[in-house]
């Protein structure tokens, strides 16, 4: 029976299942057990021209390997999904993607081409792939139009946007908490789909604290710092007071917000300084935000995120191909959770959010 038609746990709450307490996969690696039927949400592909900046991939061959994986769908990607028991992967355009296109007509064109290409790939394997829309946030009205097309015509599951948007000039930085984006958020809520806020690197002109320390840029530290601030801007602006049913997703177990959530609200209560938000940040995190495990494969961090957010707001993801499917899946299969909780995070939460059968 194909793995994507069944769901089983081979080790249940520490109780040995005969013949299943250890298994060897086809590469000879030891794996204690496997949860089959996992669903992932932060998995990326590239079009020709969207994978251009390779300077940060200093390990020889790494950039070439990433490019090969980003532009492949049915070979390496699908093979690894099969090997590590991932049933469905929701795909999205790699960062910074459309958000780095300065001319609005070009941004609209790239978003449409990306979404059409992704729809073709999903149509070939609808049992294995689904899509998040790339959006031209340079023009909020165009973003609404493209999102609506992707949801209603292409069958996508939501949108993934790679952080702030540049427009007209390279130094422009546009966040989405401003009043000009309120109609966009109204449309997202009305369509009843989630918005995945994905990281991108802050502009060098705004990153003086990294000068002389380039190793902290990008995914090591800068991604989380940039994305956390964008998410906090959305919450602090009163966005979720205006649209209480709106749902957003943050990767990497919350871009470090859960760790500091108590102190954040503690200090805002003592010194609110006119913040528009009507509720504490914890309220929005627990009612309007979901987290994925993408690129953060560590039991203590997962346990803290569950404590702060609730089990029903965490979903499994890899961050393929910038993280390996093996690292993500083997960690999750063997992490310190009950079998029931693994099913909830690995599958059920995503099924509920995206209306998956």
User: What is the three-state SS of 288-344?
Assistant: CEEEECCCCCCHHHHHHHHHHHCHHHEECCCCCCCCCHHHHHHHHHCCCCCHHHHHH
Render the burial of 90-125: b for 16+ CB within 10 Å, e for the rest: bbbbbbbbbbbbeebeebbebbbebbebbbebbeee
Identify the pLDDT of residue 154. Answer: 98
Whether 241 is catalytic: no
Identify the pLDDT of residue 216. Answer: 86
Identify the pLDDT of residue 165. Answer: 97
Identify the pLDDT of residue 77. Answer: 94
Residues with pLDDT less than 50, the chain: 1-30
Cβ atoms 163, 198 nearer than 8 A: yes
Identify the pLDDT of residue 178. Answer: 96
Q: What are the chain's domains?
A: 3-354 (3.20.20.140)
Identify the pLDDT of residue 66. Answer: 86
Query: What count of other Cβ atoms lies within 10 Å of the Cβ of residue 218?
Result: 19
Identify the pLDDT of residue 34. Answer: 76
Identify the pLDDT of residue 55. Answer: 55
Identify the pLDDT of residue 124. Answer: 96
Give the pTM. Answer: 0.90
Identify the pLDDT of residue 273. Answer: 95
How far apart CA 176 and CA 3 sit, in angstroms, is 40
Q: Which of 85, 139, 319, 333 is catalytic?
A: 319
Identify the pLDDT of residue 350. Answer: 98
Identify the pLDDT of residue 15. Answer: 34
């Amino acid at each position: 029976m194909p793995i994507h038609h069944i769901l089983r746990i081979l080790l249940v709450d520490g109780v040995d299942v005969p013949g299943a307490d250890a298994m060897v996969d086809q590469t000879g690696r030891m794996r204690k057990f496997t949860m089959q039927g996992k669903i992932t949400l932060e998995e990326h592909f590239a079009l020709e021209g969207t994978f251009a900046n390779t300077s940060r991939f200093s390990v020889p061959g790494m950039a070439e390997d990433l490019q090969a994986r980003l532009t492949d769908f049915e070979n390496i990607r699908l093979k690894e999904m099969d090997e590590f028991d991932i049933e469905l992967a929701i795909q999205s355009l790699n960062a910074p993607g459309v958000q780095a296109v300065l001319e609005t007509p070009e941004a609209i064109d790239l978003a449409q081409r990306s979404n059409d290409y992704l729809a073709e790939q999903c149509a070939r394997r609808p049992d294995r792939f689904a899509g998040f829309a790339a959006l031209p946030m340079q023009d909020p009205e165009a973003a609404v139009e493209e999102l609506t097309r992707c949801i209603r015509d292409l069958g996508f599951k939501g949108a993934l946007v790679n952080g702030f948007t540049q427009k007209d000039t390279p130094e422009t930085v546009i966040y989405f908490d401003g009043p000009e984006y309120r109609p966009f958020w109204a449309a997202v809520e009305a369509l009843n789909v989630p918005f995945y806020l994905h990281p991108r690197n802050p502009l060098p002109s705004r990153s003086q604290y990294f000068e002389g320390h380039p190793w902290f840029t990008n995914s090591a530290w800068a991604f989380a710092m940039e994305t956390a601030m964008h998410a906090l801007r959305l919450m602090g602006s009163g966005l979720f007071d205006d649209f209480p049913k709106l749902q957003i997703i943050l990767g990497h177990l919350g871009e470090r917000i859960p760790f500091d959530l108590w102190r954040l609200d503690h200090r805002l209560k003592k010194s609110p300084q006119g913040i528009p938000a009507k509720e504490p940040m914890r309220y929005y995190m627990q009612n309007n935000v979901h987290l994925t495990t993408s690129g953060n494969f560590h039991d203590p961090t997962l346990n803290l995120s569950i404590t702060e957010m609730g089990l029903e707001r965490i979903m499994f993801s890899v961050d393929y191909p910038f993280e390996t499917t093996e690292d993500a899946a083997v960690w999750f299969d063997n992490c310190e959770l009950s079998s029931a909780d693994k099913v909830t995070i690995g599958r059920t939460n995503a099924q509920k959010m995206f209306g998956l059968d």
